């Protein structure tokens, strides 16, 4: 590993442990992410000085996160791994996985809590708070779903606009009123 790669890998190790992901898994991912070609487990173990079995477990976890992909090179029985190099793709994968693992279970817990008939004033207040949380999460995830289906140019354009989109919305609503157009009226 060059010093450049080394520092990237080290950083991901540290960050990984702030995450649910552990240090070694973070480092393995970082190494694969910046590598030009797919790596096999022995190469990873040697570069990072982890045991072969630790690498095996790390790769299993990264595959479960869909952050690395198994490849086979012709004429080589060993398994090689690479990572999607497009950052936006990685972001989407992370968002989907985190949603499945964290958001969905939370939503389902909240939904069932909100079905209960509050047994006391205390419960009623608690439900009120939970309702607020539930609403926000639903709103954010619904929105994020839709955004994911937008094409990347539109998305980039939207982001570049930033808060100026506000002006656009104000303008549009005036147009609709004046023109009486067949805009969807939510």
Binding site for DNA (CB under 7 A): 17, 22-25, 40-42, 49-54, 56-57, 59-60, 76-79
Could you give the CA distance from residue 6 to residue 116 in angstroms, rounded to a whole number? 53
186 binds a second copy (CB under 8 A): yes
Window contacting a second copy (CB under 8 A); options: 39-47, 50-58, 64-72, 136-144: 136-144
Supply the Cα-derived Rg of the chain in whole angstroms.
Answer: 23
Cβ 27 vs Cβ 12: under 8 Å: yes
Q: Identify what 185 binds: a second copy, DNA, none; CB under 5 to 8 Å per kind.
A: none
Question: Closest approach of Cβ 21 to a second copy, in Å?
Answer: 10
177 binds a second copy (CB under 8 A): no
**Comparison of 40 and 141: residue with beta carbon closer to DNA:** 40
HSE of 159 in the Cβ direction (CA atoms, 13 Å)? 8
Could you give the CA distance from residue 101 to residue 99 in angstroms, rounded to a whole number? 6
Site for a second copy in 42-81 (CB under 8 A): none
**Comparison of 71 and 91: residue with beta carbon closer to a second copy:** 91
Q: Identify what 111 binds: DNA, a second copy, none; CB under 5 to 8 Å per kind.
A: none
Contact pick of 35, 43, 45, 80 for a second copy (by CB under 8 A): 35
SS3 83: coil
178 binds a second copy (CB under 8 A): no
CA 31-32-36 angle, 5° bins = 105
Quick one: which of 110, 164, 172 has its CA closest to 136?
Answer: 110
């Amino acid at each position: 590993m060059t010093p450049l790669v080394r520092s990237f890998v080290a950083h991901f190790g540290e960050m990984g442990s702030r995450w649910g992901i552990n240090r070694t898994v973070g480092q393995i991912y970082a190494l694969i992410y910046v590598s030009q070609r797919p790596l096999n487990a022995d190469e990873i173990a040697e570069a990072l000085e982890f045991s072969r079995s630790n690498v095996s477990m790390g790769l299993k976890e990264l595959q479960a996160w869909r952050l690395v992909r198994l490849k086979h090179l012709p004429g080589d029985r060993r398994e090689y791994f690479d990572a999607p190099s497009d950052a936006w793709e990685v972001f989407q994968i992370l968002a989907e996985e985190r949603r499945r693992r964290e958001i969905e279970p939370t939503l389902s817990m909240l939904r069932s809590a909100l079905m209960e008939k509050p047994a006391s004033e205390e419960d009623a207040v608690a439900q009120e708070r939970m309702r607020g949380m539930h609403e926000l999460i639903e709103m954010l995830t619904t929105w994020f779903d839709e955004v994911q289906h937008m094409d990347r140019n539109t998305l980039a354009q939207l982001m570049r606009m930033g808060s100026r989109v506000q002006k656009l919305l104000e303008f549009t609503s005036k147009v609709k009123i004046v023109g009486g157009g067949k805009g969807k009226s939510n």
